[in-house]
Chains A and B, each alone.
Chain A
Amino acid sequence: MDRFEGKIWRLGDDIDTDIIIPTEYLALPGVEEMKQYAFSPLRPELSGKIEPGDIIVAGKNFGCGSSREQAPEIIKHLQIRCVIAKSFARIFFRNAINNGLLLIENPDLYDHVQEGDRIEVIMNDKIICAGGEFPIHPLPANLMEILDAGGLVRAMQKRNGILL
């Protein structure tokens, strides 16, 4: 859990929720059926090529647009290990953490990597790639608790709170 490495898929700025999962596929029964259409308006081939443990690296404002929670859920179901972007849209950020999907904000990495590169992430510490090392601003403890549990609902169950 403390460190992992993975292969990069490099996407651009303003990757919106309609690109992550277009409206027309939201009526499918579940995210397993939807995930083959992930990113299809932009890169229809991508979802078929993603392998478990891969990492998405993107520009600014990743996840902008709708509050549809299917967007982070699908990325999680594609077994993307984490998304690293220059910045994230705020509703997506919250939804991703609530689904146990790790997001890392870093303003510089994007400009120093290419698609297919392998990078190493040391949790709440730094990212290591061929182009150098990039520090990670640690996530607050309450968000780490949710991530470690695998999402908000599981965290509540674990915490033995009202949801249990």
Chain B
Amino acid sequence: MGMTIGEKIIAAAAGVQSVKPGEIHTVNVDYLMSNDGTTHLTIDMYQTQLKHPHIADPKKLVFIIDHNIPAENPKTAEVHKKMREFAKKYDISFFEGKGVCHQIMFEKFVKPGQFIMGADSHTCSYGALGAFGTGIGCTDFLYAMVTGTSWVMVPETIRFELTGKFREGVYPRDLILTIIRDLGANGCNYKVMEFAGEAEHNMSVNDRFVLCNLAVEAGAKTGIAEPDEKVTEFLHGQGREGGTMYQSDPDAQFLQTYHYDLSKIESVVARPDFVDTAVPVREIGDVRIDEAFLGSCNNGRIDELRVAAALLKGKKVHPDVRFLVAPASNAVYLQALEEGIIDILMEAGAMVMNANCSVCWGSCQGVIGAGEVLISTGTRNFKGRAGHKDSKVYLASAATVTASAIAGKIMEAAGI
């Protein structure tokens, strides 16, 4: 029987000919990524609970400080120090202040066909390059770090056949928020979301990243976009090559196949406090905002910054709104500087911050107070996600977020 992309990657990682959903396999892990959210917990366990501490292969480990950077208090500074010193001692790849962890992995490490685990739920993003990335906790991380392996139950795959073209002003962000609305916040619980079809192949790897990154918000184990020559071109541009591009067999078994015609997708906004609550922006009514955020691993790449700059050129951010922008990585930031995008954003009144998770995870930058309203390109809008428990977060595309920052209330780009 044929296999899906996810099944083929697991089979390769497990060193077996074929796998079936429901089977449990021990897999070799190609990379293990951990950020400053929980790495200190892993290090504590490594140093205090193991009789014979040992790292299977330090070259497979990547530590990235991106959640609270630069450190905002002495406690965070201690966490960072612990990571920095451990990485140095064991010769582990280490990045600090260079960008959001998943963007760094995308730019520097991930190859198609790899099996990657990360101590962050949005590790599912690596399917943008045809890899299997999945989020784990710090104990699973410790186990994989020591043994070089982990166990995985083979998930079933749900396929999304994408056709057609987006109308002007509609983006992959609107598509994935629509899919999550249609299927629900656990509609793909423990499944692989496989994106394919002519429209998927027309998308850039950046756009595929937007889709795969939010797979976990539908409960999925990962998202994988069918890889093609665009992946090869991207890797070539980043100076790396190799990997294996898997396709699903014609007789592969999918739990379900959904068809989405991109021309029918509208600009949407997900309402507080759940990601699966999208409604068309035109139906949202009069929602005043206090803050707008453009950034995060989902939507902080050059494509989104270009969209924002095109809308903001010659205009001003509304006087009652703080518009915060955090490029997803320094590479994105430098590109935006070169294209004059940062000038446009700042002249319009935006605050441009260093590349980091920023407002998306509600800790060190742009935290909102009681009763305040944020519209964001971040990954989540859970209760209290960006600050006070009685604040509200709406999720939308870069275009809608920028248009709202100009209007002072939630608005489609077409309204500007």
A interface residue numbers (CB < 8 A to B): 14, 16, 18-19, 22-24, 26-29, 40-42, 60-61, 64-70, 72, 87, 89-91, 94-95, 98-99, 140, 142, 151-153, 156-157, 162-164
- Are A65 and B189 neighbours in the complex by a CB distance under 8 Å? no
Residues of A within 8 A of B52 (CB): 162, 164
Would you call B95 an interface residue if the criterion is a C-beta within 8 Å of the partner chain's C-beta atoms? no
Which residues of chain A have C-beta atoms less than 8 A from B38's C-beta? 67-70
Q: How far is the CB of A4 from chain B (nearest CB, A)?
A: 24
Contact residues on B (Cβ < 8 Å of other chain), bracket:
35 or more
Asked if B383 and A67 make an inter-chain contact with CB atoms under 8 angstroms apart, the answer reads no
Given A91-B121, A153-B142, A42 and B383 touching (CB < 8 A)?
Answer: yes
Interface assignment of B138: CB less than 8 Å from any CB of chain A: yes
Q: A23-B385, A90-B221, A153-B49 are in contact. Are A67 and B135 (CB under 8 A)?
A: yes
Given A24-B367, A72-B137, A142-B151, 14 more A-B residue pairs with CB atoms under 8 Å apart are A23-B361, A26-B37, A26-B363, A27-B79, A41-B384, A67-B37, A67-B119, A68-B137, A69-B138, A98-B140, A99-B139, A151-B139, A162-B147, A163-B146
- A152's nearest neighbour on chain B, judged by CB, is B139
Chain B, residue nearest A69 (CB): B137
Chain B minimum-CB-distance residue to A71: B137
Report A62 CB to chain B, min CB distance, Å. 9
- On chain A, the residues within 8 Å of B136 by CB distance are 67, 91, 94-95
Q: Is B264 an interface residue (CB 8 A)?
A: no
* Chain A interface main SS type: loop
Considering the complex, give the chain A residue whose CB is closest to the CB of B76.
Answer: A27
Contact A153-B139, Cβ < 8 Å, known A27-B76, A87-B189, A91-B121: yes
Contacting pair B139 A89 (CB below 8 A): no
Instruction: For B24, list chain A residues within 8 Å (CB).
Output: 140, 142
Which among B76, B79, B363 has the highest number of chain A CB atoms within 10 Å?
A: B363
> Quick check: B384 and A22 within 8 Å, CB to CB?
yes
A70–B119 CA distance with the chains assembled, in angstroms: 12
User: Which residues of B have CB within 8 Å of A65?
Assistant: 121, 380, 382
Q: Is the CB–CB distance between B363 and A69 below 8 Å? A: no
A23: chain B residues at CB < 8 Å are: 361-363, 384-385
Residue numbers in B under 8 Å from A94 (CB-CB): 136-137, 140
Contact pick for A162, options B146, B186, B380, B389, CB 8 Å: B146
In the complex, the chain A residue whose C-beta lies closest to that of B380 is: A65
**A-B contacts, 16 listed (Cβ < 8 Å):** A16-B382, A18-B385, A19-B382, A19-B384, A22-B384, A23-B361, A24-B362, A24-B363, A27-B79, A61-B186, A61-B189, A64-B185, A64-B219, A66-B121, A94-B136, A140-B24
B194 at the interface (CB under 8 A from A): no
On chain B, the residues within 8 Å of A142 by CB distance are: 24, 151
Which 7 residue pairs spanning A and B have beta carbons closest together? Answer: A95-B137, A69-B137, A41-B389, A61-B186, A98-B139, A41-B384, A18-B382
B319 to chain A, nearest CB (A): 28
Distance from A30 Cβ to chain B, minimum over Cβ atoms (Å) = 10
Give the distance in Å from the alpha carbon of A162 to the alpha carbon of B147 in the complex.
8
Minimum Cβ distance to chain B for residue A40 (Å): 7
A residues in contact with B383, CB < 8 Å? 16, 18-19, 41-42
B143–A156 CB distance below 8 A: yes
Of the listed residues B73, B137, B186, B190, the one surrounded by the most CB atoms of chain A closer than 10 A to its CB is B137
Among B363, B382, B385, chain A packs the most CB atoms within 10 A around the CB of: B382
Tell me the chain B residues, 277-304 only, with Cβ under 8 Å from chain A: none
A27 to B71, alpha carbons, bound, how many Å? 11
Residues in chain B near residue A22, CB distance under 8 A: 384, 389
B50 close to chain A: CB less than 8 A: yes
Nearest-CB residue, chain A, relative to B53: A163
Interface 1/0 per residue, B109-152 and A, CB below 8 Å: 00000000001110000000000000111111011001100010
Asked if B88 lies at the interface with its beta carbon under 8 angstroms from chain A, I say no
B54 at interface, CB cutoff 8 A: yes
A133 and B164 alpha carbons, distance in the complex (Å): 51
Taking CB atoms, residues of chain A closer than 8 Å to B89 are none
User: Given A28, A67, A140, which contacts B121 in the complex, CB threshold below 8 Å?
Assistant: A67
| Distance of A24 Cα from B189 Cα, bound (Å) | 28
With CB as the reference atom, state the residue of chain A lying closest to B75: A27
Cα–Cα distance between A66 and B41 once the two chains are bound (Å): 15
Interface check B260, CB cutoff 8 A: no
